[in-house]
Amino acid sequence: MAWFDDLKTPRVQKQDTTSKTSRVPEGAWSKCNECGEIQHSRILSSNFNVCPICQAHGRLTAWERIKLMTDEGASDFKEYGASLISKDPLEFDDTVPYRVRLEKSIGRFNQNDAIIAGKAKINKIPYHLAVFDFQFMGGSMGVVVGEKVAMTMAGALKDQIPAVIVCASGGARMQEGVYSLLQMAKTSSLVSQLKKKGIPMITLLTNPTTGGVAASFAMQADVILAEPKALIGFAGPRVIEQTIRQKLPEGFQRSEFLLIHGFVDRIVHRKNLKKELSDLLWRLGMRTCRFGK
């Protein structure tokens, strides 16, 4: 059994997906959090981080998501608001000062905040797209994230084309205090302007969409899509159980539960996302949008 002794144990590593280009090293393996199967990272990466065994939807960076939701690998994605940086309005000082945490995340992920926004095309349909990046401070919404969500919807209003926002967020950014809470009102007011003009607005809720993001524009869209088994809710289950003094049902706050109870309109598998979203944008916007320009 000499050959058996020569077998190498696979190296399991966490997905590192921090830049526009794939940085999957040769021979790297990843373990699925749901089924525990070990997959070659290259296979997972080509499958948009969906486990081929159990179909669990792993996390994507903002740029990976943009590539998935645009034509020709995001080559015609026109980003805006990239230079916006939070000024730390409260000069929030925790164990690690907010400014230091922010600078660290900016350096590490090579982007200025937890969202990327721009104008894109999906199956030749122009639209405005904003994508949260959970790896950047848990996708929390401070002034920059709120402003870029608002810019996305304002762009949709101006160009008369739909707006799509992909959410992945722990909620408001507590280090920006009331300024982060104001983003809920600001983004909600843009949603109502879109509604008045009949411009479609769609949100895609991914794992997790919670707190102030779930409590504002994410749940106000014309169509609310969700990824399978995504955690969606305002407060965490433990807080709710303590408040209402009841045990929560199984699967509470997951996409499938919310679909049954009418909070989510449709659950979309990542492999069908491009087609389903472009069909939806076309049908919703054919009367009110200017797709020809």
Binding site for Zn ion (CB under 5 A): 32, 34-35, 51, 53-54, 56
Of the candidates 178, 171, 114, the one whose C-alpha atom is nearest the C-alpha of residue 145 is: 114
Q: How far is the CB of 34 from Zn ion (least distance, A)?
A: 4
- Rounded to 5°, angle at Cα 283 from 279 and 286: 125
Cα separation, 40 vs 27, whole angstroms = 7
Q: Which two tokens stand for residue 291?
A: 């797709």
Q: How many C-beta atoms lie closer than 10 Å to residue 255's C-beta? A: 26
Q: How far is the CB of 135 from Zn ion (least distance, A)?
A: 20
The smaller minimum CB distance to Zn ion, of residues 32 and 150, is found at 32
Q: How far is the CB of 166 from Zn ion (least distance, A)?
A: 22
Are 126 and 161 within 8 A, CB to CB?
Answer: yes
Q: How far is the CB of 43 from Zn ion (least distance, A)?
A: 12
The smaller minimum CB distance to Zn ion, of residues 269 and 290, is found at 269
The smaller minimum CB distance to Zn ion, of residues 10 and 97, is found at 10
Q: Which two tokens stand for residue 215?
A: 């409590």
Q: How far is the CB of 37 from Zn ion (least distance, A)?
A: 5
Q: How far is the CB of 63 from Zn ion (least distance, A)?
A: 23
The smaller minimum CB distance to Zn ion, of residues 51 and 273, is found at 51
**254 CB-near residues (< 8 Å, 6+ apart):** 229, 230, 231, 232
**247 CB-near residues (< 8 Å, 6+ apart):** 241
The smaller minimum CB distance to Zn ion, of residues 45 and 216, is found at 45
Are 136 and 114 within 8 A, CB to CB?
Answer: yes
Q: How far is the CB of 267 from Zn ion (least distance, A)?
A: 17
DSSP for 188-223, written as a single string: HHHHHHHHHHT--EEEEEEEEE-HHHHTTGGGTSSE
**156 CB-near residues (< 8 Å, 6+ apart):** 127, 128, 162, 163, 194, 199, 201
The smaller minimum CB distance to Zn ion, of residues 56 and 174, is found at 56
The smaller minimum CB distance to Zn ion, of residues 195 and 229, is found at 229
